[in-house]
Amino acid sequence: MSPRPRFVIIILGLLVGACGSQTAPLSAGSSTPPATQPDAVTTTVNAATTTAAVDTTMTVVQTGPLYQVDIGGRIMVMECRGQVSTPTVVVDAWSSNGVRALVEAVSDFARVCTYDHAGTRRSGPPPELPRTAQAYADDLHALLSGSGVEGPYILVPWSLTTWTTILYAWTYPEDLAGVVMIDPRGPGVSSGDLAALPEPMPDEPLAVTDVRNFLLELISNPGENDDEGLDWHASEELARAAIDEDGPLFGDRPTIVLSATDTFEDWRTLDLPPEILDLFWQVWIDEQQRLAAESSRGEWRVVPDSRHAIQVDQLGAVVDAVREVVSAAG
């Protein structure tokens, strides 16, 4: 495989981060799965059938804050902290970057959970690759239902996991209490960016060619540019179809969309013409505002002095947004 262009490295680092490493290690120097640790409690929970063929009876092994759930022959791992209460906050951020501090802060006033995606850390591999955000939404629903952690749920996605939240809300609306999106990548960003690019020219900057090739490769080689094998193009199309339906997707559920002021910090190191960067930024913002409009109680909120990982630069702003939605949904 040929080396990835610098643009691809930057965009993957910006939007994906260290994929699949959300929850903290069990203990320093230990890789023992929760099922084999002492004081584990095994229970059986009846869960509703989802669109991802899972058994209606699931085995749960709980060790302290860790849940190991058998979702029909596959194991997924989740960690929950804070006093048992509803609604339950579920942080889906793909990366450990700032998530631990966010979970600890939210656990002071709400029950909050994070989980390992299929095929990452302690969760078992998915049945097939590539897979779409709909499969992620089905996994999350099976995990929450099988764990016995009571809903409804406030979903807190970051970046790409916004597509999972959209499809979760579309497929399981009765489970949703509210949403806080952290600098989300709307499902129309890739197509909008592609449309914003000029026609190919022999003497165009290499960065422009790299961007175009990357966006086209998302269509022609699904899952190739994603460490978890996520089919970006199919996922975006599914999420777009969900929000294109009549009526606001999130209904009257409290929804806050947090927008960073400097999402494209690394992009400015590339040789992209300023006018293209401006168009990309407008696409990004338009998509975020559209997501906020998917709730009759939606709000688009700009967080000053923040990059894409707002939870790192301005943790308090994220915690405040979650607190507001928990209070409004309670």
Query: pLDDT digits over 276-286, tens only?
Result: 999 999 999 99
pLDDT at position 269: 75
Number of C-beta neighbours around residue 291 at 10 A: 28
Residue-wise pLDDT tens digits, 154-170: 999 999 999 999 999 99
What lies within 8 Å, CB to CB, of 221 at 6+ separation is none
Omega cis (within 30) before 152: yes
Among candidate residues 86, 78, 83, 84, the one with its CA nearest the CA of residue 61 = 78
Residue with tokens 């699949």: 20
d(CA 32, CA 82): 23
DSSP helix/strand/coil, 80: strand
Among candidate residues 314, 213, 238, the one with its CA nearest the CA of residue 11 = 213
Tell me the Cα Rg of the chain.
20
- Name the pLDDT band for 135 (thresholds 50, 70, 90): very high
Backbone angle region of 150, left / alpha / beta, with phi > 0 → left and psi within -120 to 50 → alpha: beta
User: Alpha carbon of 46 to those of 43, 60, 71, 128, 144: distances in Å?
Assistant: 10, 11, 11, 25, 11
DSSP helix/strand/coil, 280: helix
CA terminus-to-terminus distance, the chain? 51
Q: Which long-range contacts (CB under 8 A, 24 or more apart) does 96-99 make?
A: 96/18, 96/21, 96/22, 96/23, 96/24, 97/17, 97/18, 97/309, 97/311, 97/312, 98/309, 98/311, 98/312, 98/315, 99/22, 99/311
- Name the pLDDT band for 264 (thresholds 50, 70, 90): confident
Amino acid at 275: E
| Run of H or E residues at 262 | strand 255-262
Number of C-beta neighbours around residue 150 at 10 A: 13
d(CA 215, CA 210): 9
Domains in the chain: ranges and CATH: 6-22+83-111+125-329 (3.40.50.1820)
Helix segments in the chain, DSSP class H: 6-15, 99-106, 133-147, 162-171, 189-196, 206-220, 232-244, 274-292, 310-313, 315-329
How does DSSP classify residue 78? E
Residue-wise pLDDT tens digits, 24-77: 433 333 333 333 333 444 444 443 333 333 344 558 888 889 999 999 899 999
The answer to whether 131 and 107 have CB atoms below 8 angstroms apart is: no
pLDDT value at 22 more than 50: no
Residue-wise pLDDT tens digits, 103-132: 999 999 999 999 999 998 889 999 999 999
- Name the pLDDT band for 94 (thresholds 50, 70, 90): low
Of the two residues 160 and 223, the one the predictor is more confident about is 160
